[in-house]
Structure 1
Amino acid sequence: MAYQNIDSVRVWGKPDEGAVAQAKMCAKTGNVVQSLLMADHHKGYSQPIGGVVVYDGQISPSGVGYDIGCGNKAVRTNLYVRDVRQGLGKIMDEIAKKISFGVGRINNDRVDHELFDDPDWDVYRAFGQQEHDKLKALARNQLGTVGSGNHYVDLFEEPETGRLWIGNHFGSRGFGHKTASGFMNLAAGRRFTDKAPGESMDQPPLLLDLTSEVGDMYYRAMKLAGRYAYAGRDYVMREVLSILGAEADFEVHNHHNYAWKETHNGKEVVVVRKGATPSAPGQLGFIGGSMGDISVIVRGKDTEENMDAYYSTVHGAGRIMSRTQAAGKMNWKTRTRSGGQITPKQMMEAVRAFGVELRGAGTDESPFVYRKLQEVLDAHSDTLEVLNVLKPIGVCMAGADEFDPYKD
């Protein structure tokens, strides 16, 4: 087996001390069947990023995290990179102009969707009609916006064929964040609308019993936020296809911040994946690397090790440098940074050397802050098969100094 058992936690890849400590704490809190770390793991809030916790009858709002339903979508278009190579700069300008990137941004084009008629919106009426109406209005306004941090819209070349692919990565925006905050308040004994106190990265997971009223409400709200994230990624993909004048002939779409009811070893459990991709035998996934690295389409293998992983795998390359380490500390009054280890010049040289047309992004998203994707994929070689290797040719993200306290 390619994983280690560290105090009952199954760990793939090189163990990160802080993330392992968090995974051990998760293993000891609640009705835990198994705690695991994928090879891209690093510290997160309460449950590590790249962490998987399997519960018997419980669900963890802090484990799913603030960006409920964050995930990836990739489509293969009917175009070849040679069709867009000359006009790539203009295409990336158009993507940056047409798609809304950044915190709190709203979509200027009104997007209607059947999910706004979902009966699970009634969950929020329990916290008052005003709260229900506010959250629904926020969700309507932000549907189809991307946000900041490591969220992106990319164009890729499949070197083997020359085909042009599109990929995107983001989640449920402010609606998901406010849903997560509210249910974490309830799990901690506060009211849904309370302002949460500053909480420690290393605090134990907040848990709800699925059979409880609030646990059922969270599960329904989480599923709604997941549908919302899917709808947003679908919308952005349609917009980019329209800009390209292209059609999609194949797609892969998956969450990696979510909780699933699944059957393992003959028993129904709740699998909470935070920054981890579901990877059941035959299941497809899109896993993104950095802006100076490959991304891949993968398929889960039918192996004993994949069973041991509770059919989970990496969601990306995994950070090896924090945002502040990379970009420095930001003074929001003067809008200046100090102390960063990566300069914009270093970043642009690396991106140009990789042949990428970049729009937006700061040094905290540069290739230097991530592992190489191949390294983490190698750690999971017995659990997944790489079907397509994709090389970025265009990357579009929010601007470098976008204020966002929840970038991860």
Structure 2
Amino acid sequence: MAYQNIEGVRVWGQPQEDALMQAKMCARTGNVIQALLMADHHKGYSQPIGGVVVYDGQISPSGVGYDIACGNKAVRTNLHVEDVKPGLAQLMDQISRHISFGVGRVNQIKVDHELFDDPDWKVYEAIGRKEHDQLKTLARNQLGTVGSGNHFVDLFEEVGTGRVWVGNHFGSRGFGHKTASGFLNLAAGRDFLGKAPGESMDQPPVLLELSSELGEMYYRAMKLAGRYAYAGRDFVTREVLSILGAESDFEVHNHHNFAWKETHGGKDVIVVRKGATPSAPGQLGFIGGSMGDISVIVRGKDSAENRESYYSTVHGAGRIMSRTQAAGKMNWKTRSRSGGQISTRQMLDAVRDFGVELRGAGTDESPFVYRKLQEVLEAHTETIEVLHVLKPIGVCMAGADEFDPYKD
């Protein structure tokens, strides 16, 4: 097996001590069957990003996190790179103007969707009319917005074929965040919309019995937020295809901050994956690298090691430098930063040298703050196979100094 077993935690890749400490804490809390770390792991809130915890009958709102069902969608278009390269700068300008990026943004295009008639909105009605109305209004206003942090809309060239792909990465936005914080409040005996006290990154995970009323309500709300995230990524993909004047003939759509009901070894379990992609045999996944690196389409293998991973793999390259380390500390009065290790010039030079037309982004998302995707993929060669390698040619993100509380 390619993984290490460190005090009961299965670890792929090089262990990061702070994330490993969190995984050990998760392994000791609740009815845990197994804790795991994928090769892109790094420290997160309560459960590490790139971390997987398998529970018997329990679900963890803090393990799923604030960006419920954050995920990736990629579609292959009928265009080739020579069709878009001459007008690439103008295309990226159109995408950055047309799609809403950034913290707290509302969509300039009002999107109606059958999701807003979903019966699971009754969960919020049961909590209270005020809570229901506030979250539903927020969800309507933000459907199809991308947010900030590491969330993106990209154009890719497939290596070897020259086919153009459209990809995006984001989640359930403010709706997912308020759902997560609301249920964490309820679990602590506070009002759903109450202000939570300061929380520690290293606090134990919050656990709910899935058979309890609160656990069942959270599970339904989480699934609704998941469908919302998928609807948003579908909308953005359609809008970008329209800008390109293109059609798609193949798509991959997956998410990585979620709790799944699954059966492993003949036992029904809850698998909480935070920043980890499901990889059941034959299952496709879109895994993004940094804006100066490749991304890939993968497929889960039918292998012993994939079973040992509880059918889980990486969701990206994995951060190795914090946002503050990279960009410095922000002075919000002067709107300036100091103490960052990465300059804007370094970032722009690196992205230009990789052949990318960039819109937005700050040094906290520069290629220097991530591992190389190939390195983390090599730790999972027994669990997944790479089907398509994608090289970014256009990257669109929120502008510098946009920090998104909904990012994974």
TM-score (norm 1): 0.99
For residue 188 of structure 1, report the CA deviation from its aligned partner. Answer: 2.2
For residue 130 of structure 1, report the CA deviation from its aligned partner. Answer: 1.5
Cα distance between partner residues in 1 of 2:403 and 2:115? 29
Q: Is the 8 A contact 1:188 1:206 kept in 2?
A: no
Q: Which residue of 1 aligns with 2:13?
A: 13
Note the alpha carbon deviations across 1:258-279, whole angstroms, 9 max, x for none: 1100000001100000000000
Q: Is the 8 A contact 1:329 1:339 kept in 2?
A: yes
Q: Which residue of 2 aligns with 1:124?
A: 124
Give the aligned residue type for 2:159: P
- Is 2:188 the counterpart of 1:175? no
Give the aligned residue type for 2:5: N
Q: Which residue of 1 aligns with 2:290?
A: 290
For residue 403 of structure 1, report the CA deviation from its aligned partner. Answer: 4.1
Q: Which moved more, 1:119-128 or 1:222-231?
A: 119-128
Give the aligned residue type for 2:202: D
Give the aligned residue type for 1:12: W
Structure 2: tracts of 5 or more residues without a match: none
Q: Which residue of 1 aligns with 2:264?
A: 264
Q: Is the 8 A contact 1:305 1:382 kept in 2?
A: yes
- Is 2:57 the counterpart of 1:66? no
Q: Which residue of 1 aligns with 2:314?
A: 314
What do you get for the CA RMSD once the two structures are aligned? Answer: 0.7
Cα distance between partner residues in 1 of 2:245 and 2:407? 32
Note the alpha carbon deviations across 1:239-297, whole angstroms, 9 max, x for none: 00000000010000001001100000001100000000000000000000000000000
**Residue 108 of structure 1 aligns to a residue in which SS?**
coil
Q: Is the 8 A contact 2:148 2:404 kept in 1?
A: yes
Q: Which residue of 2 aligns with 1:75?
A: 75
Cα distance between partner residues in 2 of 1:26 and 1:170? 25
For residue 402 of structure 1, report the CA deviation from its aligned partner. Answer: 1.6
Q: Is the 8 A contact 2:92 2:396 kept in 1?
A: yes
Q: Which moved more, 1:121-130 or 1:29-38?
A: 121-130
For residue 187 of structure 1, report the CA deviation from its aligned partner. Answer: 1.9
Cα distance between partner residues in 2 of 1:108 and 1:322? 32
Cα distance between partner residues in 1 of 2:104 and 2:406? 12
Q: Which residue of 2 aligns with 1:159?
A: 159
- Is 2:401 the counterpart of 1:401? yes
For residue 79 of structure 1, report the CA deviation from its aligned partner. Answer: 0.5
Q: Which residue of 2 aligns with 1:245?
A: 245
Q: Which moved more, 1:121-130 or 1:75-84?
A: 121-130
Cα distance between partner residues in 1 of 2:278 and 2:293? 22
Q: Which residue of 2 aligns with 1:366?
A: 366
Cα distance between partner residues in 2 of 1:405 and 1:340? 21
Q: Is the 8 A contact 2:79 2:164 kept in 1?
A: yes
Which residues of 2 match residues 200-215 of structure 1 at below 5 A? Answer: 200-215=200-215
Q: Which residue of 1 aligns with 2:352?
A: 352
Q: Which residue of 1 aligns with 2:221?
A: 221
Q: Which residue of 1 aligns with 2:327?
A: 327
For residue 30 of structure 1, report the CA deviation from its aligned partner. Answer: 0.5
Q: Which residue of 1 aligns with 2:139?
A: 139
Q: Which residue of 1 aligns with 2:196?
A: 196
For residue 407 of structure 1, report the CA deviation from its aligned partner. Answer: 4.1
Cα distance between partner residues in 2 of 1:247 and 1:110? 23
- Is 2:88 the counterpart of 1:88? yes
Q: Which residue of 2 aligns with 1:302?
A: 302
Give the aligned residue type for 1:205: P
Give the aligned residue type for 1:345: R
For residue 110 of structure 1, report the CA deviation from its aligned partner. Answer: 1.0
Q: Which residue of 2 aligns with 1:99?
A: 99
Cα distance between partner residues in 1 of 2:328 and 2:282? 42
For residue 190 of structure 1, report the CA deviation from its aligned partner. Answer: 2.1
Note the alpha carbon deviations across 1:189-234, whole angstroms, 9 max, x for none: 3221211001100000000000000000000000000000000000
**Residue 313 of structure 1 aligns to a residue in which SS?**
strand
Cα distance between partner residues in 2 of 1:236 and 1:310? 31
Give the aligned residue type for 2:358: L
Note the alpha carbon deviations across 1:135-161, whole angstroms, 9 max, x for none: 101000000000000000000000210
Note the alpha carbon deviations across 1:341-389, whole angstroms, 9 max, x for none: 0000000000000000000000000000000000000000000000000
Q: Which residue of 1 aligns with 2:387?
A: 387
TM-score (norm 2): 0.99
**Residue 5 of structure 1 aligns to a residue in which SS?**
strand
Q: Is the 8 A contact 2:327 2:337 kept in 1?
A: yes
Q: Is the 8 A contact 1:42 1:48 kept in 2?
A: yes
Q: Is the 8 A contact 2:39 2:314 kept in 1?
A: yes
Note the alpha carbon deviations across 1:103-146, whole angstroms, 9 max, x for none: 11111111011111011001011221111011101000000000
Cα distance between partner residues in 2 of 1:401 and 1:34? 38
Cα distance between partner residues in 2 of 1:326 and 1:146? 22
**Residue 218 of structure 1 aligns to a residue in which SS?**
helix
Note the alpha carbon deviations across 1:29-84, whole angstroms, 9 max, x for none: 00001000000000000000000000000000000000001000000001001001
For residue 404 of structure 1, report the CA deviation from its aligned partner. Answer: 3.3
Cα distance between partner residues in 1 of 2:330 and 2:403? 9
**Residue 86 of structure 1 aligns to a residue in which SS?**
helix
Q: Which residue of 1 aligns with 2:30?
A: 30
Give the aligned residue type for 2:204: P
Cα distance between partner residues in 2 of 1:47 and 1:247? 39
